[in-house]
Amino acid sequence: MDPHIRFTSTRLADGRELVYVDDSEPYVSGAATRRLDDPRPLRDRFAPVPGPDGMTVPVVGPQMRRDPLTGDWIPMATHRMDRTFLPAADACPLCPAKPGAAYSDGEIPDTDYDVAVFENRFPALLQVPGHEAGGDGTTLVDDEPLWQARPAAGRCEVVVFSSDHDASFADLSPRRARTIVDTWAQRTQALSALPGVEQVFCFENRGREIGVTLPHPHGQIYALPYVTPRTQAMLGQAAAHRERTGRSLLRDVLDAERRAGTRVVLESTHWTAYVPAAARWPVEVHLAPHRDVPDLPALDDDERDDLAVTYLELLRRLDRFFVDPVSGASIPLPYIAGWHQAVVGPGRDLGRLHLQVFSVLRAPGKLKYLAGVESGMAAWISDTTPERIAARLQELGSQEVGSGGARPREAGA
């Protein structure tokens, strides 16, 4: 384990796991330990719950069903959970506890933390003890063989990037960003080892415009018990490309983008960011390592340090992408940043790590809503061109002053 961070795992009052990830003293050396108990009067999350007739019934995990027309699995997060203690509307459950305050419903019991990870309280995917029995747990809906159902037995975690409610990822120091990279890597490793997990997806949803209800800086990790439709499609393309050429598709795409250069927006020692040649979102950038690695755990020390700096620079540019036409102020970009990692099982050799960042904002105050042909047919139509997106991000790079990473050399330097 990296000596510059320390992972401390404990359990919340309802049995969910909480992991403190510390990079500051006196915690990182072990001279002090974060608060490990959770004072909230929460019931065990797997304890039987009262049914409508007053009798208790066992907790049932979420189910997922397979769409026979597309082969896609659709989780249905309607399982029984104890929602007795919902947080007050004005309380942020991700903020640290207030020193000396009475009971509150914060998810992190300590009065401060660096980075924290915990299991989502109302998860779409959940492994319920005792429910994994019997093969892969496949059952039939209405006894029809066309309609397969399985427990949606995965795991959903929340990663809190900072104890500062008003911060955003782009504001963090390179050191804290590195801590988060290590956290993603450690969680990917831990979650990939859970029974039945086929894919681990680390992502951040930022901005009210895309339905984020908690402004506190955080991301999520889904450990999925199936391979997602997008990954399935990408694996199919990668397999066909290997069959045809003997090479890695993602490697070839990165090489081609670097050769063409037109859409490359940032290049560091170990990473290149580019707008893909067939980008579909109004703003979209991919960030890929120069070395072939399957996932975040496979990154070495230098690549992680470089990633922390490079990713911060990319986010800072994205936050200046749109400017308010009246005030001239930059508009913090609502974005989704998601890590594509190799799957756990068959097809793992076809995967290659990369980050996809995209936004639904197409102009100040204007969101891209999915058109009928996009929602109905998954047939995408771009409102801009990848070259235009890249030109804007390149322009922002050349204006840059201050923090490190790839930027033009100053005259006479």
* Residues of this chain that bind Zn ion (CB under 5 A): 92, 94-95, 165, 216
Please state, as a whole number, how many other Cβ atoms lie within 10 Å of the Cβ of residue 9. Answer: 11
Considering the complex, what minimum distance in angstroms separates the CB of residue 94 from Zn ion? Answer: 5
Considering the complex, what minimum distance in angstroms separates the CB of residue 90 from Zn ion? Answer: 11
Which member of 218, 270, 340, 354 is catalytic?
218
Task: From 225, 252, 223, select the one nearest 237 (Cα to Cα).
Answer: 252
Considering the complex, what minimum distance in angstroms separates the CB of residue 106 from Zn ion? Answer: 9
The one-letter amino acid at 167 = A
**Closest residue by beta carbon to Zn ion:** 92
The DSSP-derived string for 54-96 is S-EE-----EEEE-TTT--EEEE-------SSPPPTT--TTSP
- How far from 210 is each of 95, 215, 336, 368, CA to CA, in Å? 21, 12, 8, 11
**CB-wise, 165 or 388, nearer to Zn ion?**
165
CA distance linking residue 313 with residue 400, whole number of Å? 9
Considering the complex, what minimum distance in angstroms separates the CB of residue 352 from Zn ion? Answer: 35
**CB-wise, 92 or 210, nearer to Zn ion?**
92
- For residues 358, 198, 180, 35, the Cα torsion angle rounded to the nearest 10 degrees is 130
**241 catalytic per annotation:** no
Q: Note whether 204 and 160 are within 8 A (CB).
A: no
**CB-wise, 94 or 172, nearer to Zn ion?**
94
Considering the complex, what minimum distance in angstroms separates the CB of residue 148 from Zn ion? Answer: 41
Task: From 321, 309, 267, 259, select the one nearest 289 (Cα to Cα).
Answer: 267
Bridge partners (DSSP) of residue 148 are 140
**CB-wise, 94 or 283, nearer to Zn ion?**
94
Residue 45 has φ and ψ, to the nearest 5°, of: -70, -20
**CB-wise, 97 or 275, nearer to Zn ion?**
97
Task: Give the residue numbers annotated as catalytic, written as ranges.
Answer: 218
